[in-house]
Amino acid sequence: MKNKEYQFPEGFLWGGATAATQCEGAWDVGGKGASVLDHCTNGDREHPRLITAEIDTEKYHYPSHTGCEQYDHYEEDIKLFAEAGFKTYRMSINWSRIFPNGDDMVPNQEGLDYYRKLFEKCKEYHIEPTVTMTHYDMPWNLSVKYGGWANRKVVDFFLKYAETIFTEYKGLVTRWLTHNEINFGTVSYGEIVTSGILPKSERIVMQDPNATTEDLNRRFKALHHEFVASAKAVQLAHEIDPAIEVGCMMCGFAFYPLSCKPEDVAAAQRDMEIWNYYCMDVMSKGKYPYWAKRFWDENGISLAISEEDKTILENGTVDFISFSYYRTDCSKGGDKLLEGNTDFGMPNPELEATEWGWSIDPQGLRWLMNEYYARYEKPLMIVENGIGAYEQQESDGAIHDNHRIAYMKEHFKAMAQAIEDGVDLIGYACWSAIDIVSAGTGEFKKRYGLIYVDADDLGNGTYKRSKKDSFYWYKNVISCNGKNLDE
């Protein structure tokens, strides 16, 4: 029987992704200031990362200080991405490389020059950058001095940063994402890494069952400020260069009811709403969802949203929706997303999981894409998707990551199905283009890349790059525009 030919649109943006604080290293080089992540130690599945007020390298390892040393290897990396056939490289600018303290009067020229050279290199290889403005990233000074996004002043600092980079890279970058996985701002982990609100203790927990009403107010106020900043940035980008398209960036996560009990179905609906649609509605439709008032009231959240802010949100909706997709979970009646203990929902007994307990669910991707598209009818872009695994290099230099090939293949088939359903999917960037530090645990051994980097959890190694089996497989997929997934 003839293999099925999968159809992806012409000009589909195949590529790979990274984030500055996970790949660049050179954390204090070239005039860069410290970012919040530069104060975060490594951890692992059992031990959460710590965030230390002082950087104490005698006592701790801070993985963002080394990343995969892309700052020093960017030419080599982009050449490898071009060899794989990337049409886009999704990456982020480190805010504190441009404004070391966040509230500086003038930008750091060395930081501007670094990204200019990187974007020019992409151009040379016909790779379009897709650039995240803040990927779990805030200048440390803005967190300490102003309290992060909970302070409205940060909106202005962000807009100055936005204006600087939109103007500086006009013609080199036409696709921007404002805040990475902004919906993480609804939970404790995200308020630290996306909103720059420093925790009460050094431990970085995913969820904080002890969050007080005051904490929740601060958290949702910070999110409101991020929405306003993003909406203003969208308008600014269009004024500076009408060719620019700006997307929101969500952590795409599907919640299934754990059973067909009506209370589980209701719980899944609520988790979908809070996790996916609270932020997406504001950024895509320009207004808070109709159920937001009840949600705020039930959680004691009181947000003073002015008429002016409402107009800003309405006028600054995004051009497209980008999201990450790794896993799905289940919801059980009575659970509350904001008060869960360790992770998001309950594991799905029907699905296999990665070594870090993340369920593997390609079909969930098709389902989620249809949900998003039905609701917003805006182009979608998958800007992160992949599998984290322990991997090793054989004595002949090869890295056999068949688990990644299997994972990607099934997710690509799900994407092709969604496209056949009628969803407008414009691109896909795998996580990650190259091995980098894990954001959640700070490990290096939780590898996601198509390209292996010789480094360990403590930053030791040669940082030599080697192509994994998935690199060659993905290259072949891209060269056929995804037609040959059954081969």
Active-site residue list: 181, 384
Stretch that binds ligand BG6, among 229-237, 408-416, 436-444, 466-474 (CB under 6 A): 436-444
- Among 6, 8, 19, 20, indicate the residue that binds ligand BG6 (CB under 6 A): 19
By CB under 6 A, residue 440 contacts ligand BG6: yes
User: Should residue 359 be labelled a site residue for ligand BG6 when binding is judged by CB under 6 A?
Assistant: no
Instruction: Give min distance, CB of 6 to ligand BG6, in A.
Output: 26
Q: Using the rule CB under 6 A, is 388 a contact of ligand BG6?
A: yes
Is 329 a binder of ligand BG6 (CB under 6 A)? no
Looking only at residues 206 through 265 of this chain, which bind ligand BG6 when binding is defined by CB under 6 A? Answer: 251
- Joined together, the tokens standing for residue 226 give 């991020």
User: 264 vs 391, which CB is nearer to ligand BG6?
Assistant: 391
The region of 56-64, 156-164, 294-302, 432-440 touching ligand BG6 under the rule CB under 6 A is 432-440
Q: Return the number of the residue (128 or 443) whose C-beta is nearest ligand BG6.
A: 443
For residue 208, CA distances in Å to 199, 205, 337, 343 come to 10, 6, 11, 10
Whichever of 169 and 431 has its CB closer to ligand BG6, that residue is 431
Q: How far apart are the first and last CA of the chain?
A: 12
**Minimum separation from the CB atom of position 91 to ligand BG6 (A):** 11
Stretch that binds ligand BG6, among 156-164, 238-246, 300-308, 440-448 (CB under 6 A): 440-448
Q: Using DSSP, state whether 254 is helix, strand or coil.
A: strand
Q: Which of 77, 137, 191, 384 binds ligand BG6 (CB under 6 A)?
A: 384
- From the CB of 421, what's the least distance to ligand BG6, in Å? 25
Residue 97's contacts (CB-CB under 8 Å, 6 or more residues apart) are: 20, 30, 31, 32, 33, 108, 111, 114, 115
In sequence order, the 6+-apart residues with CB closer than 8 A to the CB of 263 are 333, 334
Rounded distance between C-alpha atoms, residue 330 and residue 164, angstroms: 43
Ranked by CB distance to ligand BG6, the top (closest) residue is 440
CB 35 within 8 A of CB 137: yes
Q: Does 431 bind ligand BG6 (CB under 6 A)?
A: yes
State the binding string over 141-180 for ligand BG6 (x if CB under 6 A, else -). Answer: ---------------------------------------x
Would you say 107 or 252 has its CB closer to ligand BG6?
Answer: 252
Helix (H, G, I), strand (E, B) or coil at 143: helix
> Is 241 exposed, middle or buried (CB count within 10 Å of its CB: 0-12, 13-18, 19+)?
middle
Sign of CA dihedral 50, 53, 58, 64: positive
Using the CB atoms, write b or e for 121-151: b if 16+ within 10 Å. Answer: bbeeeebbbbbbbbbbbbbbbbbbebbbbbb
Listed ranges 165-173, 283-291, 315-323, 439-447: which one lies at the site for ligand BG6 (CB under 6 A) = 439-447
Does position 324 bind ligand BG6 by CB under 6 A? yes
Alpha-helical (H) ranges within 108-212 are: 109-124, 140-146, 153-168, 188-193
At its nearest, how many Å lie between ligand BG6 and the CB of residue 346?
19
Q: Answer whether 429's CB lies under 8 Å from 17's CB.
A: yes
Q: Which of 446, 447, 465, 467 binds ligand BG6 (CB under 6 A)?
A: 446
φ, ψ for residue 53, nearest 5 deg: -65, -40
Q: How many residues bind ligand BG6 (CB under 6 A)?
A: 15
181 binds ligand BG6 (CB under 6 A): yes
Q: Which stretch binds ligand BG6 (CB under 6 A): 155-163, 199-207, 263-271, 438-446?
A: 438-446
Burial of 292 (0-12, 13-18, 19+ CB in 10 A): buried
Please, which residue, 327 or 465, has the CB nearer to ligand BG6? 327
The helix/strand/coil state of 17 is strand
Site for ligand BG6 in 88-147 (CB under 6 A): 136
Map residue 435 onto helix, strand or coil: coil
- What is the distance between the alpha carbons of residues 476 and 295, in angstroms, rounded to a whole number? 47
Nearest approach in angstroms of CB 438 to ligand BG6 is 3
Residues 65-84, interacting with ligand BG6 (CB under 6 A): none
- Nearest approach, Cβ of residue 298 and ligand BG6 (Å): 27
How would you classify the pairing of strands 380-384 and 425-431?
Answer: parallel
DSSP state of 353: B
- Cβ contact 86:433 at 8 Å: yes
Residue whose token pair is 């909706």: 317
CB of 437 to ligand BG6, least distance (A): 7
Q: Judged by CB, which is closer to ligand BG6: 298, or 352?
A: 352
* CB-nearer residue toward ligand BG6: 279 or 312: 279
Q: Which is nearer to ligand BG6, 413 or 446 (CB)?
A: 446
- Residue ranges in contact with ligand BG6 by CB under 6 A: 19, 22, 136, 180-181, 251, 324, 384, 388, 431, 438-441, 446
